[in-house]
Structures are given as C-alpha cells and as structure tokens.
Structure 1
Amino acid sequence: MHFVTGGAYNGKSKWVRRIWDSPIDWRSAYEGDSWNEPTFNEHVIVLEGLEEWMIAFVAKKKDFKEIRESWRAYLESLLAWESEDCDRRIIIIGTDITKGIVPLEKENRTWRDAVGWAYQDLAALAERVDVIWYGLNQRLK
C-alpha cells in the first residue's frame, strides 16, 4: 500500500500518474466515484480524495471508537486484497486538512479528527508514504 498526501492543488495526482505507468483503476471522490466496491478492475488501484470519502464514512458512525474500528477494518480488507497477488498495489491519495483553523461545528471537527486518525493508521500500515508539495515528493517511509 502506498499513501500519498500533501496540500490541495500541490500535484499529488499528477505525481502518482507519473510514477505509476501501468494500467490503473483510478477512483476519485472528486469525480463522484465509489471507494468501496468489492472488486477492482486492474492490479494498481488509486483511491483519490480520501478526506472527501471520510465525510460519508463519519456520518454513518456513532462515535470515535466506531469510526476508527470501521476504518481499520476497511484498511485490513484493502491490504488483504493487495496481498492476494504480488502485482497488486493500492495507492491512496488524501489532501492534508490538518493545518489551518479548527472548525466551529462539532460535525466538522469530528470529520477533521477522523481524517487525521485515518491518515495516521494509513501511514502506519502503508509500505510507502510520500508527501507532495508543489509537485515535489518527500518520501517519509
């Protein structure tokens, strides 16, 4: 699994397309694509816009514990799919939303916190983690 993050409009998608030249099943929250379909069409899967998908994910859960447990279970299912074939790779792109003003509304704070936890869990489980700023990557892991 490969996690790519960085600021909005900093070239994350362009960078991923440049380094992964194989056929890709690209799913984008920004385009209204689903992220949890049970089958994928290619060996390389890109899930772009994790922070956007997390809005619906958080809305369906009752508390932080349930959000985090459900997220970890989802990550485990992705890792299981990836491990079934050595050519499979999951790349998850998420925009960094942790900088700036903390939202006043409880729902938005919950979403922001859940995204931060999701990114921490993803970074811990990912084989590779890159931060993209201004089109340049910094490999963290």
Structure 2
Amino acid sequence: MHFVTGGAYNGKAKWVRSFYGVTEDHFWQSAYDTPKVPLDVSRFYGNVVVLEGVEQLIKGLTADVGLEKWRAIWGSLLGIWQSWENERQDRTVVIIGSDITKGIVPLEKEDRDWRDVTGWAFQDLTAAADRVDVIWYGLNQQLK
C-alpha cells in the first residue's frame, strides 16, 4: 500500500499518475466525484488502484457511523484493500489524501472532529503502508 499526502492542490494526483504511469487501464476512484467507500474490490481492475480524496471518505464514514465506530470500520477497510493488494505480487493500492490537519483549528465541532479523525486515520494508514510520500508543489519527499 502506498499513501500519498500533502496540501490541497499541491500536485498529488499528477505525481501519482506520473510515478505509476496511470492510464485508463487502472482503477481510479475520486471521493471528490464519488464519495462512496469502495468496499467491493471485485470492481478493481489493473495492477494499480488509486483511491483519491480519502479525507472525504473519512468525513462520510464518520457522518454515517459516528465517532465511536469509525475506527474499527476504517481498520476493516484498510484490511480489505490490503487483502486485494496481497492477492498478487504486482498489485498496489495507492491512497491519496489531502492533509487537513494543519493550520487554524476550525470553529465548528463537526469540522474539528473531522480534522482529528483524519489525523488518526492518516496515522493508521501510514502504519499500514509500505511507502508514504508527501507532495509539496509537485515534488515528493518519501517518508517511508
């Protein structure tokens, strides 16, 4: 699993496309277009699967199941995606998430909760990932 993060509009998707040579032959789901969590891995195709906008998936998940249950479900999702990846040696799941955990703390409790939950989810994702890159202004820095 490969986690790619960084600020909004800093070139994460462009970098992933270039790094992996992503074409129409690869599954790419953007939560900015389709906010549904991809549970059905039978829909995945190609050897590289990209899940973009994971912070939006996290927001929807916490809205659907609440703050008490989200982490167990999030762990299950990571396991599902890792299992698909591990079925074949040439598979990679790339998860792209904008870092919303920095800057001014939001005034609304709902937004503060989303920020906190996203930070915890990104920690889980970093622990599960084989590789982690931060993208700033189109340049990557590999952290793991």
What are the superposed Cα offsets for residues 5-61 of structure 1, whole Å, 9 maximum, x if unpaired?
Answer: 000111000000001015321111122264314121222100000111111101012
Is the Cα–Cα contact under 8 Å of residues 27 and 34 in structure 1 kept in the other structure?
no
The Cα of 1:126 is off from its aligned counterpart by 0.1
The Cα of 1:100 is off from its aligned counterpart by 1.2
The Cα of 1:92 is off from its aligned counterpart by 0.2
Alignment partner of 1:124 out of 123, 127, 134? 127
Distance 1:87 1:58 in 2: 32
Aligned residue number for residue 95 of structure 1: 98
Task: List runs of 5+ in structure 2 lacking aligned partners.
Answer: none
Aligned residue number for residue 117 of structure 2: 114
Normalising by the residue count of structure 1, what TM-score does the alignment of the two structures yield?
Answer: 0.93
Normalising by the residue count of structure 2, what TM-score does the alignment of the two structures yield?
Answer: 0.91
| Partner amino acid, structure 2, of 1:116 | G
Matching of residues 24-35 of structure 1 within 5 Å:
24-32=26-34, 34-35=36-37
* Percent identical: 54
Task: List runs of 5+ in structure 1 lacking aligned partners.
Answer: none
The Cα RMSD (Å) is 1.3
Distance 1:118 1:24 in 2: 25
- Deviating 4+ runs (over 4 angstroms): none
